Amino acid sequence: MSSSSLRAALPAVAAAVAALLLPAAATRAAPGEGGEPGERSQGEALFETARALMKQGRTDEACATYAASLRAYASIGARLNVARCHELGGRTASAWREYNRAAGMARAAGQAGREAAARKLAAAIEPKLSTLAVQPAAAAAGLKILRDGEELAAAAVGVPEPLDPGEHRIEARAPGRLPWSTAVTLAPQADHQTLIVPSSGTPAANPAPAADSAAPAGSGQRVAGFVVGGVGLAAAVTGAVLGAVVLYEIDKAKSDPALCADKQCTPTGRAYVDAVSDKGTAATVLIGAGAAVAVAGIVVILTAPAEAGEQAAGQSGLRLRAALGPGGGGVALGGRF
């Protein structure tokens, strides 16, 4: 509600509240209005300032000062004025609570007239109250429900609670679950809503089963075998190419008259041929080592455990078989793909 609306509504309600306010010149605390002398003096000074502001039509400032007066010194008059400010601002639930608190203070002070008037004002607001009940769909261990940032007590869960009109934030938290939240908007008058907090919140983590995330052991061994075999094959091919180059260089030198005339090499020619021959030795080593490594890779592949699918289908993979006979021996490679 705007300041102009508050100013327009003030004269109509002033008479109803006037009888409930503290006298401007009161210096003695009523029973039930205890407090330190300094606090009481500060509260009364703020109260008088608020009254002056209200008379000047400065309603927003007056209401803020009444609230400051109530915080400094909890007097019945300050609480009634704060309640009325809430009511004029459309904060019906806050006004209703403050009227009831003022009635309780008046009763403790033995002021029956003030108590009755405060309860009458609270009763007039009650039919207009909007309420919200927050109810979990199912009980959950460690579940916490928060409304506007404050955790609901267990006794308040599922109970319709009078709230000021407007938006309210509801959150739910539980161990092992992601937080859940939503917003509920209450209408200005008699809007009664119930919010059901879902029980099937999203888990905080959904790890994939270990069997799905890990590659089969047999598959890993086959990969390693192919890598080793590939390295060996590459070394053997490199050695073969180097050997071919060496043979070509030797043949070329022997056919060069300046180096090897009539198949008789000069000292220079012989030195050149020997140097090239050393490269031939390296080529032979590469071919042998590469072949050995390639064979090792094949063995790694062949000894890899069969995967579940292969076992179910009766597949046995590759097979390496040695064969010996009178005329020699050999190795046979077979299997199903």
Residues 135 and 232 placed together within one structural domain of the fold: no
Q: In sequence order, what are the beta bridge partners of 321?
A: 332
53-112 pLDDT, tens per residue? Answer: 989 989 899 999 999 999 999 899 999 999 999 999 999 999 999 999 999 999 999 999
CA nearest to 273, candidates 251, 250, 289, 301: 250
Q: Is the pLDDT of residue 278 over 50?
A: yes
Q: Which helix (H) or strand (E) holds 285?
A: helix 267-302
Residues 99 and 27 placed together within one structural domain of the fold: yes
Reported as a pLDDT band with limits 50, 70 and 90, residue 35 is low
Q: Which residues lie below 8 Å from residue 74, measured CB to CB, with a gap of 6+?
A: 33, 35, 43, 105
Share of the chain above pLDDT 70, in %: 65
Q: What is the mean pLDDT of the chain?
A: 76
Contact indicator for 257, 269 with CB cutoff of 8 Å: no
Residues 112 and 163 placed together within one structural domain of the fold: no
CA nearest to 170, candidates 151, 198, 147, 188: 147
Residues 59 and 138 placed together within one structural domain of the fold: no
Residues 43 and 90 placed together within one structural domain of the fold: yes
Residues 263 and 162 placed together within one structural domain of the fold: no
Q: Which residue range forms the structural domain that includes residue 20? A: 3-128
Per-residue model confidence (pLDDT) at position 149: 94
Residues 50 and 151 placed together within one structural domain of the fold: no
Q: Is the pLDDT of residue 187 over 50?
A: yes
Residues 242 and 267 placed together within one structural domain of the fold: yes
- Total domains in the fold of the chain: 3
- Report residue 302 CA to chain centroid gap: 47
Per-residue model confidence (pLDDT) at position 49: 93
Task: Report how far residue 157's alpha carbon sits from residue 147's, in angstroms, rounded to the nearest whole number.
Answer: 11
CATH at residue 112: 1.25.40
